[in-house]
Chains A and B, each alone.
Chain A
């Protein structure tokens, strides 16, 4: 069984500030992990993924995430927030022999000018 917990349903930052969105997972098999972004009234787009290669993963739009097995975490960061980063972000975990992902409940990121 797998699960994902995203800490903080809403995160607010100032433009230019560090973005940190937290994701903790639970998995009985070696996990592979994803971050998706959803802009208003759109579908979800893949931001980045961890697939057991490098533990520090770089994605689109300057985002990156670090897989920490000891902490069962996969937190998403960006050094400097931009107004265009305002969106909802979802962490997801997969693993085992099937392709099905389990999603967290999402974190809404607001960027203030």
Chain B
């Protein structure tokens, strides 16, 4: 089925370790987004890419980096994980027209110990 695929689904890291969360979409969407979801905080935008070759900071970018590898893929990297980065991370994409809304991936549940 067409959609947004995130890997891995679960991950446990030790403080200071690094990792990359992968996201790929097969809907030919121009825009892609990374959000984190924490209890009581809703969805907070980390970074987004309006089109291939561009990336911009969102609401909570500190401690993260992103790469828009090509039109399909948008990765999120934690260089030195901290317990405050324990969260559920969602990737989303949008395209076609602005009324389309987002298609979300199923999420990555990350625990930093």
Residues of A within 8 A of B (CB): 9, 32, 34, 36, 42-46, 49, 51, 90, 92, 94, 98-101, 103-106
Task: Assess whether B104 is in contact with A44, with CB atoms less than 8 Å apart.
Answer: yes
Provided the pairs A98-B50, A103-B42 are in contact, do residues A32 and B104 lie with their beta carbons within 8 angstroms? no
A42, A90, A104: which contacts B106 (Cβ < 8 A)?
A: A42
For residue B106, which residue of chain A has the nearest CB? A43
| Pairs across A and B, CB under 8 Å, 13 listed | A9-B40, A32-B98, A43-B106, A51-B99, A90-B42, A90-B43, A98-B31, A98-B50, A99-B50, A99-B100, A101-B94, A101-B102, A105-B42
Provided the pairs A99-B94, A105-B40, A105-B42 are in contact, do residues A43 and B105 lie with their beta carbons within 8 angstroms? yes
User: Which of A9, A49, A51, A100 has the most CB atoms of chain B within a 10 A radius of its CB?
Assistant: A100
Task: Assess whether A49 is in contact with B90, with CB atoms less than 8 Å apart.
Answer: no
Task: Assess whether A100 is in contact with B48, with CB atoms less than 8 Å apart.
Answer: yes
Residues of B within 8 A of A (CB): 4, 30-31, 33, 35, 40-43, 45, 48, 50, 90, 92, 94-95, 98-107
Provide the bound-state CA to CA distance between A93 and B97, in Å: 15
Shortest C-beta distance, B86 to chain A (Å), equals 16
Task: Find chain B residues with CB under 8 A from A34 CB.
Answer: 101
User: Which of A32, A43, A94, A100 has the most CB atoms of chain B within a 10 A radius of its CB?
Assistant: A43
Q: A98-B50, A99-B100 are in contact. List 14 more A-B contacts (CB 8 A).
A: A32-B98, A34-B101, A43-B90, A43-B104, A44-B102, A44-B104, A92-B101, A98-B31, A99-B30, A99-B98, A100-B33, A101-B94, A104-B42, A106-B42
